[in-house]
Structure 1
């Protein structure tokens, strides 16, 4: 199979391979990753992959948010001597450009500024290729790229050009296409949006979430915690039809006659793809049949800026008050005001488990559930994600956005079963098995505002309070 060099944008390293594989699945492209772990390390800025045809590489560059460019791959090496030997063996791939093709030769890197003098030296070392065409620095027919990979030197102080030439590996190829999908990050910039709130998701992340849902024309996608609609705009841009709900309708409506979500979607030309917005508690939902949606995508509230809520009371009412509330619900209040049901906090680990069960009911077979889950860095274990799974659902991607002491994981779960399930019932006070594993995201809000103290810190605090 032909080989291609993918250059990634220097952002969200852990999201690169899940996005690449998801878009490959969406477009029906067979993407073969390197077999050795070092070469397929998602932390590296480039990766050599196998594709069936050149057009597949171009399609990936037009849809993947984290692809900066794709190249026809010619050679790689730990030194230029190794690179040149490998490149000579690839002559059948580049020989067709020798006779009469205008070209430009570039020497570049992701973590390092290469001096002009050495760039010239590197370019001249490829003289054996014998190109006879015109050198055109503005509009060439082909761009030949020599990419030097350096170790990440982020947050280190060094003099200019320090360590020049001490690269990890060097790659060579012909530019096929630059990643045009990254232009969407500016288009969906929250600061330029007609309607947004303090919980709105940044554009690059929402685009990555949309790609994980395999959003495309004709897909039917649901957001059960819609808020200000951040996930609906990129998914509808890719052609999907959107239904959204939230327990607090004010977040979707905003201020104004036209709902805020619709105003923002109109800005992007996708208002016609927002099928409906509804206000209800996801644990008391109106869905009376399952297998409706191709995907569910959401960012559940976890209490840092806004906490999750569900219908119910923190404390049980006496019987006479229950009867009064029932009468107000059925007949209306004596002062002619609408009855507003009370809400109570929705603990994150219970919410996540309920969301997976709801996804199994509402998703079509092979449908995807895509959502963010915050975790405490020092406490997280791989088993945490599996504590929320139910039969017929499997995790296919788990990418971390690291904030230091905590992070949030973009979890992608696929429905693997063909069995039809009844509408789920959500226990308002689920019992906790004393022997079961307690995930790191349980009681996340409390841990966040306590500064993620370890058990040792809590013990020491308790000991200091007991000291005379």
Structure 2
């Protein structure tokens, strides 16, 4: 509408435009390569934003999967690196893989490398060069957490074939894996950030929050990693009636009330409490053999599920 003979005219300065259009652009329904554990595009963009992804920065996701977080960081201009313990998720198929997603969105210039590795056996040299880390570590609910290694003594040393060739150099070699503690994984992520991130770099990661006080998981801490933000995503308990792509999170919708997005800042070395750092390095590792032994959240999650089933059976028995 045009106003004739206006009495006042207001002028403004455009500081910036909304980035909401990116939500639709990166919608998983339109993405070429996804899996059951692909992070929702909106949450991936929010995570990258909290970690301050930007041009001229290098970001790393140690649990890449199909590359949702690297794509979100690349959207903001960051150069991205990713790894995953499962080579199948990175390789995908001939025409559908992590790289095909970068091609789809025109983000190939931001793609640095994707490789097979786990956080505790990383080929990345121990030096501070990362500007940010973003990840959604596995919760160990659907299947127990594992890392490369073995609890068997005979597999903890180099195994030679009859030909004298080391077994790990043979074609089709599948390395052994051992159970991994969920709490240890959270601590290892912070340790990795401490050892590999530059001053004031940010680490943003997701972790589950249960609706049962007995299942509550404490927020991990580190003397050199300052917790700057805690964002909570509440789960909708009616979500099971709709189509949910992320199976792992779909299961958590049933019993877990929410999940947290934790954002940390790498404290400059001169400001780190060295005594607290030495105390942390002396901490004992979790003792256990099975996935339930090493993952209290997984154990209590399924125990809560069994308790609910038993309550339902008792209720039906009483009513009959």
- TM-score normalised to the size of structure 1? 0.52
Q: Structure 1's 369 and 178: CA in aligned 2 closer, same or farther, altered over 3 A?
A: closer
Secondary structure of the structure 1 residue equivalent to 2:114: strand
Q: Structure 1's 446 and 286: CA in aligned 2 closer, same or farther, altered over 3 A?
A: same
> Which residue pairs with 1:152 in the alignment?
none
Secondary structure of the structure 2 residue equivalent to 1:327: coil
Secondary structure of the structure 1 residue equivalent to 2:68: coil
Is 1:444 the counterpart of 2:297 in the alignment? Answer: yes
Runs of 5+ unmatched residues, structure 1: 1-100, 104-130, 135-140, 143-173, 433-440, 462-468
Following superposition, the deviation at residue 185 of structure 1 comes to 0.6
Following superposition, the deviation at residue 287 of structure 1 comes to 2.1
> Which residue pairs with 2:208 in the alignment?
374
Q: Structure 1's 280 and 176: CA in aligned 2 closer, same or farther, altered over 3 A?
A: closer
Equivalent residue in structure 2 for 1:408, among 231, 242, 259 = 259
Is 1:204 the counterpart of 2:50 in the alignment? Answer: no
Following superposition, the deviation at residue 452 of structure 1 comes to 5.4
| CA distance in structure 2 between the partners assigned to 1:383 and 1:199 by the alignment | 22
> Which residue pairs with 1:293 in the alignment?
130
Q: Which moved more, 1:343-352 or 1:269-278?
A: 343-352
Following superposition, the deviation at residue 102 of structure 1 comes to 4.5
| CA distance in structure 2 between the partners assigned to 1:196 and 1:349 by the alignment | 28
**TM-superposition CA deviations, 1:261-307 (whole Å, max 9, x none):** 11001111101211011111210112223211110001111134565
Q: Structure 1's 284 and 302: CA in aligned 2 closer, same or farther, altered over 3 A?
A: same
> Which residue pairs with 2:110 in the alignment?
273
> Which residue pairs with 1:133 in the alignment?
6
| CA distance in structure 1 between the partners assigned to 2:169 and 2:267 by the alignment | 52
RMSD (Å), alpha carbons: 4.0
Following superposition, the deviation at residue 460 of structure 1 comes to 9.0
Contact 1:376 1:452 in 2 (8 A): no
> Which residue pairs with 2:231 in the alignment?
399
Aligned 1:17-416 pairs, distance under 5 A: 102=2, 133=6, 180-256=18-94, 260-305=97-142, 307-313=144-150, 315-317=151-153, 319=154, 326-328=159-161, 331-333=165-167, 337-379=171-213, 384-385=218-219, 388-403=220-235, 405-406=255-256, 407-416=258-267
Aligned residues: 279
Secondary structure of the structure 2 residue equivalent to 1:331: coil
| CA distance in structure 2 between the partners assigned to 1:335 and 1:394 by the alignment | 42
Runs of 5+ unmatched residues, structure 2: 238-254, 288-293, 313-320
**Larger relative CO (CA 8 A, sep 6+): 1 or 2?**
2
Secondary structure of the structure 2 residue equivalent to 1:411: strand
